[in-house]
Each structure stands twice: as C-alpha cells, then as structure tokens.
Chains A and B, each alone.
Chain A
C-alpha cells in the first residue's frame, strides 16, 4: 500500500520545531508557490491503491455532477500523509476505512463505535460520512493450488507450515492491527518475512517468490490471480468499513453530495469496480460504472498518449527545472562561503550531505506535515531543490579551492577588489567544476522528479506509479522510457552548455 511508517510522523513533528531551517525553506516555498496558485475547488485525495483511486473518482463525479468544482489528487501515499494533508487543508476529502481511523489515526487500542469515531474526529475539524456499504478488511491470501495441496483454509492452519515465505506491504508490517500482533495472536512460526510493494507482491506470489501476502477483501486481484483468502478464525482483523473523511469547513452542498454515497456500495459492487479499473487501467471509467454510465462523460474523456506524454513531460521539466534553478541560486553562494572553510563551511557541506543521505521518499514524507508544504508541487520542488544542493555546493567549493595559490595571490597583488576577483577571476576559473556540479544536480533531479507523483505533483512518475500499482509494465514504461530519454537529453544539453560557458582558455 505504501511505505510511510508511523515513526515518520514523530520525525515530522520534530522537524517543525527546527526554526532556522524551517524559515529558510519557507522563503523558498514562497518563491515556489508563485507557480502553484489556483482557485478553490474541493480537493479530493486518495491513497496509492486501486480502490482508493476509484473512490476518489466517484467522489469527484458526485461533486461535479451538481456543479461543485472538484479536483482529484491521485495516489498521494499512505494513511499518515493523507491525514496530515486533510488536517493541514491541502486536501478536503479522502476515502478512509473505519478500522484504520481507529487504529492509525486515533491510535485507540479498543474498537470504537462510529459515533465515538465521529466525535473524536470533530476535534480535528474533520467529519465522516456513514459507511459506504462495504467492508474492506485485511486478509492473508495464498495461491489456490498451494492452499489445496497443503490443506490450509484458516490462518491457524499456517502454524503447521513454518517454511512458508511471507511478503507483506510495509504498512501492514508496521500497523497496530498488522503483522506483529497477528503473528502473536496466532502464534505463527514463519521466520521468512519480507516487505514488498503491494502490486509487486502479487507478481511475487504468482511466480512463487513468496507464498503468502496481505490483501484487502475487496481486492479484484484475489479472483484474477486465483488466490484464496485465509479465514480469520480468531477474528483478529477489525472491521474496515469504507467512509469518506472531509473537512467540516468545506461547503455544505459538497458534504450533502458526499452523503448521498452512503450505503450505496456493497462488497460485490466494489470488487467489480476494482476489477474494471484494473482491466481498463482507467479509474474514471470504473467510477462511471458506479454511476451506471457505460459511455464516457465529459470529464472522463481520456487524453491521447501524445497529449498525456506532453503533459507529463512538461510538468516533469517544470519540477526539475524550477528546483534546479533554486539549487543554483542558493548552491553557488553557499559553495563560495563553504570554499573559505572554517566551521561555517563545514556546516554548509555537512547540511547538504545529510540532506542527500535522507531517502527521497522519507524526505517527502518529512516535508508533507510542515506548514506551507503539504501535498503539493511546492513540496516536490522543495525536496528536489534540497537534493540538488549538494553537488552544486560541493563542486563550487572544490572548484574555488583548487585554484592555485599563486594565481589567487596574483589577483590580490594586482589590487583587484574582492568582488572583481571573485566575479572575473575565481568563478570563471572554477566554471568547469561548477557546471559539472549543476549537471549532476540536473540529472539527479530529472530522475528523482519521478517520485513527485507520490504526492500528486504529477510528472513522468504518474504513469510509473499507476503502472506499478496495476502491475502493468507497459504503463510503467510509458513513464520510465521518457524519463530516461529526458535524463540523456539533459546530459547532452549541459555538455553543449559547457562549450558556451566555460572560457575558451580553460578548454584548450
């Protein structure tokens, strides 16, 4: 489902207290926000899996049909990211499950009634619809043939087969109603447990790399892949009734529209919609099915591939280009300061290095809960900017430090002012090193920008992500190949730029 762990929430809170860095970033974000201004449609978020996408599309249609402007940010991540985004006002609505709210959001260790949940959520300014009608609980699944061969029907039966290999989503591994408590309740002996992406897990199950994985009871893949759900004979899993969470402050007619969805989706219908979404690779069309319309409606007309490619690429270039610009604007002055060494220089290099060691996914997750960031293009640009900083800072610093002392002294002895020395002598002499730092940054940014899709910022990561989710290699390649080509193009472009910007005397 996703890999954002509850532990990250704690880190996010700590980061909010880091004032000076926060203020510095804030400045950047002000800058970045210029390009992300929009009106005030109702923003719907969804988690990174098919059912959530489909529910998000259904909510969008439900709002747009009576004329309420709505936007759907698809597949933004996991529970914590969506919840933080809802609280922070970056999104207004998203589909959630009662069990998840109890366990992960309210962190209650006993089960709560729907009224109790609603009361607790109200304190956060968040409302909840009645259940939509289906219960999507967690389940353990296994290949049908294997289950028959071993005679496994319930989770308790697994105790007899300690050698079975288990592959679980990262979220399930960490949840309070996930693997560890489940294992304890059932006294399961399996040692061979790995974490794996939800969609990839099905492929692993099919080719026998793993024998058991976690799934949701309405998952269309259970039928498609000929899997069986193991009976939860000790009633370990709580109920996961689907609901919509919404900010109480959104317009009343939007809330009323969402409430019309209550009790209208039973399990069979949801499985059918999920199956349709996975078969056609088109969430909008699956949502149309809910509204009993086979024909595509106005806002579900799919763009042609070239149109989509152009949109993804443009957004990708915007993300990478804008963040690179920021990295250059901040990186070169920081590199100049760092080149003088001393504690401040070490601090700058140290900060840029530490940022680069944070996994990109974790960096995004850390930024999302901060004010001004949230689920937005800004966050993606800020993260890319931070990643792009180190190569530029480091190359600027070493480029300047590598200038021979005799030449520095000649510049001083001539009587040139410090600014002229820097601008006319030192920077041009370091230009090769600085440009190669910028090139490294650009290539990293073009690659890392694919992750921006995780927080709904678009780009070529969008097809990669939905392809991964649907286990559809063609869709993955639709994003991956252009991204690779783009990286090559960037490399080529900077090689060309070298020839224009590096003074001729240094190239002879």
Chain B
C-alpha cells in the first residue's frame, strides 16, 4: 500500500530565507507521523504546503496518488482535517455551528449530521450541553475538542494537527493526549502531528520526523533516533529534553 501523502523535492522560501529546503517525505496510512524540531525549523510550513495554504516553490505533493493543485484543492480539503494551536474556531458561531459549518455545503441531511455530531461529542468527550456556547464561553481544552470535532466531521482521510495541545496547561494536556491517542486508534486515522515536545512525540508517534533549519534530519522510531543518530544535532535535541523523556 502506497503512502497517503508523498512529498517529492518540495521546497519553500520567503524572500532570501529558506523555510523548507527540498524535502522528501511519505505519510503512511493509518499511522501517526509526528513532526518535531525546534521553533522555526519549518514544521508548520510543511503542513501549510500540504493543505495548500501556501504553494511550493518546487517539487510536488500527491494525495492518494493525485497531485495537489489549485484545481482539485477544494475537494481535497474536505478530505483533510486541520487543527491549529489556537483552535481556529470562528468567534461569531456557536460550538455547534462551528462543527456543522462545512456540512451545509456538502449536501448532507440534518438528521445524518445531528447523529454524527452526537457521535463526535462522545468520541471527544465533549458534553453536548455545551454545544450552544460560543468559543469565548469555553475553556481552552474544550475549544480544542470542538476544533477536533470540526476537523473530524466529514470523516477525513488525513488529520493535520499543528501543535493542537500547545496552549493548554499540563493536566488538561495530559487528558487530551490520552483521548486523542484513543480516538486515532479507534478510527485508524492517518495523522500528521506537529509538536516540539519530545515526550508528546514519543507518546503519539508511530514514526518520528525530526527537523532542523528547514530540512529533515532523521526519520524513524525514538529508539532509532537515540541509538543511531544521523548527526550530532539529534542527540543534542534529545538531551536538551532528557528530563522530560525520562518521566
């Protein structure tokens, strides 16, 4: 079975600075791939290239074998869920309206969608009592659960998560990590997960992709990274977070 997403020699620069050097990467089906690396190394850039918020300067990206371009991106975006650190919920819409936003534009029936909504509430452990609330009336953790429901609403083939837990306090974060992992397993979801926290990467990652200064330094399991570091930076990065890893 081929990879769901394949990046071939994809690069992106802003003015003189390269945000992403020519990069090759496969995202495998049914697995969670974690992108990790120091701030500014190009993780978000890579995600934004996949969902076509920005266009690559060179190279190509395929989704399920189909090259992503401006022509087919609207259809493809409905097959991809995208969650960012701040949640990206629209403040003028209730939690329910945020989650159902896309469904009105893809021609699904009301009942069907209502059923799906309750299913997602249960999956993400979000109380349906809170659905009529506006984003400002929810806690950070609740907001991220709503974002996740919105991303999962149309049963996407791919879930792109850009530091979804970055803004949460440790307790809420730990609870959500647990829930997310269960959800991914239950849905056999293909996930591309960005974090700069090594412990989180190890917890989620079937495969860890370590990036630095716009390029991929090493891919593999955490054991690979620890025992066969491709270059000194890998150990440097691991050691800097050792305290966290050991717990």
Interface of A with B (CB < 8 Å)? 404, 406-407, 409-417, 420, 424-425, 428-429, 431, 503-506, 508
Interchain CB contact under 8 A, A415 and B102: yes
Report A82 CB to chain B, min CB distance, Å.
53
Interchain CB contact under 8 A, B102 and A414: yes
A414 contacts across to B, CB distance below 8 A: 77, 82, 101-102, 150
Question: Interface centre among B51, B90, B91, B136, by most A CB within 10 Å?
Answer: B90
Question: Would you mind naming 22 contact pairs between A and B with Cβ atoms under 8 Å apart?
Answer: A406-B84, A407-B88, A407-B90, A409-B88, A410-B82, A410-B89, A411-B90, A412-B77, A413-B88, A414-B77, A414-B82, A414-B102, A414-B150, A415-B77, A415-B78, A415-B102, A416-B101, A416-B105, A417-B74, A424-B101, A429-B91, A503-B92
B53 within 8 Å of A (CB atoms): yes
CA of A410 to CA of B105, assembled, Å: 16
Contacts A415-B74, A417-B105 given; indicate if A505 touches B53 (C-beta within 8 A). no
Report B52 CB to chain A, min CB distance, Å.
8
A413 contacts across to B, CB distance below 8 A: 51, 53, 77, 80, 82, 88
B94 within 8 Å of A (CB atoms): yes
CA of A428 to CA of B78, assembled, Å: 23
B150 contacts across to A, CB distance below 8 A: 414
| Residues B110-169 near A (CB distance < 8 A) | 134-137, 150
B86 within 8 Å of A (CB atoms): yes
| Nearest chain A residue, comparing its CB with the CB of B80 | A413
Report A439 CB to chain B, min CB distance, Å.
19
| Nearest chain B residue, comparing its CB with the CB of A505 | B134
Interchain CB contact under 8 A, B53 and A508: no
Overall SS of chain A's interface: helix
| Residues B34-70 near A (CB distance < 8 A) | 48, 51, 53
CA of A425 to CA of B74, assembled, Å: 17
Report B154 CB to chain A, min CB distance, Å.
9
B93 within 8 Å of A (CB atoms): yes
The 10 closest A-B pairs by CB, nearest first: A410-B88, A415-B77, A503-B92, A505-B134, A413-B82, A505-B92, A415-B78, A428-B92, A413-B51, A508-B136
B135 contacts across to A, CB distance below 8 A: 505
Report B142 CB to chain A, min CB distance, Å.
15
CA of A157 to CA of B217, assembled, Å: 99
A412 contacts across to B, CB distance below 8 A: 53, 77
| Nearest chain A residue, comparing its CB with the CB of B88 | A410
> How many residue pairs at the A-B interface have CB separations less than 8 Å?
65
Report A468 CB to chain B, min CB distance, Å.
48
Report A402 CB to chain B, min CB distance, Å.
12
Report A184 CB to chain B, min CB distance, Å.
66
B89 contacts across to A, CB distance below 8 A: 410
Contacts A413-B53, A416-B101 given; indicate if A506 touches B77 (C-beta within 8 A). no
| Nearest chain A residue, comparing its CB with the CB of B160 | A413
B93 contacts across to A, CB distance below 8 A: 503, 505
B51 contacts across to A, CB distance below 8 A: 413
B75 contacts across to A, CB distance below 8 A: 415
Report B104 CB to chain A, min CB distance, Å.
9
B102 contacts across to A, CB distance below 8 A: 414-416
B80 contacts across to A, CB distance below 8 A: 413
Report A424 CB to chain B, min CB distance, Å.
8
Interchain CB contact under 8 A, B92 and A409: no
A420 contacts across to B, CB distance below 8 A: 105
CA of A477 to CA of B53, assembled, Å: 60
Contacts A414-B101, A416-B102, A416-B105 given; indicate if A505 touches B74 (C-beta within 8 A). no
Sample of 10 more A-B contacts, CB < 8 Å, known A407-B90, A428-B92, A504-B134: A413-B51, A413-B82, A413-B88, A414-B101, A415-B76, A415-B78, A420-B105, A425-B90, A429-B90, A503-B92
A429 contacts across to B, CB distance below 8 A: 90-92
| Nearest chain A residue, comparing its CB with the CB of B91 | A505
Interchain CB contact under 8 A, A410 and B84: yes
Report A417 CB to chain B, min CB distance, Å.
7
CA of A429 to CA of B134, assembled, Å: 13
| Nearest chain B residue, comparing its CB with the CB of A426 | B90
CA of A94 to CA of B150, assembled, Å: 71
| Nearest chain A residue, comparing its CB with the CB of B78 | A415
CA of A416 to CA of B74, assembled, Å: 8
CA of A326 to CA of B82, assembled, Å: 41
CA of A504 to CA of B101, assembled, Å: 17
B78 contacts across to A, CB distance below 8 A: 415
Contacts A413-B53, A505-B135 given; indicate if A406 touches B105 (C-beta within 8 A). no
Report A506 CB to chain B, min CB distance, Å.
5
CA of A45 to CA of B88, assembled, Å: 62
Interchain CB contact under 8 A, B91 and A506: yes
| Nearest chain A residue, comparing its CB with the CB of B153 | A414
CA of A506 to CA of B92, assembled, Å: 5
Interchain CB contact under 8 A, A406 and B86: yes
A409 contacts across to B, CB distance below 8 A: 48, 53, 84, 88
Convert B186-202 into 0s and 1s, putting 1 for each residue whose CB lies closer than 8 angstroms to a CB of A.
00000000000000000
B105 contacts across to A, CB distance below 8 A: 416-417, 420
| Nearest chain B residue, comparing its CB with the CB of A503 | B92
CA of A504 to CA of B132, assembled, Å: 12
B76 contacts across to A, CB distance below 8 A: 415
CA of A462 to CA of B82, assembled, Å: 61
CA of A181 to CA of B238, assembled, Å: 92
CA of A407 to CA of B88, assembled, Å: 5
| Nearest chain A residue, comparing its CB with the CB of B82 | A413
Which of B77, B88, B136, B137 sits near A406, CB closer than 8 Å? Answer: B88
Interchain CB contact under 8 A, B94 and A505: yes
| Nearest chain A residue, comparing its CB with the CB of B134 | A505
CA of A420 to CA of B104, assembled, Å: 11
| Nearest chain B residue, comparing its CB with the CB of A405 | B53
B90 contacts across to A, CB distance below 8 A: 407, 410-411, 425, 429, 505
| Nearest chain A residue, comparing its CB with the CB of B93 | A505
| Nearest chain B residue, comparing its CB with the CB of A508 | B136
Report A91 CB to chain B, min CB distance, Å.
52
CA of A411 to CA of B74, assembled, Å: 12
Question: Interface centre among A420, A424, A505, by most B CB within 10 Å?
Answer: A505
CA of A420 to CA of B53, assembled, Å: 17
A407 contacts across to B, CB distance below 8 A: 88, 90
CA of A409 to CA of B89, assembled, Å: 11
CA of A412 to CA of B76, assembled, Å: 12
CA of A127 to CA of B131, assembled, Å: 78
A411 contacts across to B, CB distance below 8 A: 90
CA of A506 to CA of B137, assembled, Å: 11
Interchain CB contact under 8 A, A508 and B77: no
B92 contacts across to A, CB distance below 8 A: 428-429, 431, 503-506
| Nearest chain B residue, comparing its CB with the CB of A413 | B82
Report A167 CB to chain B, min CB distance, Å.
57
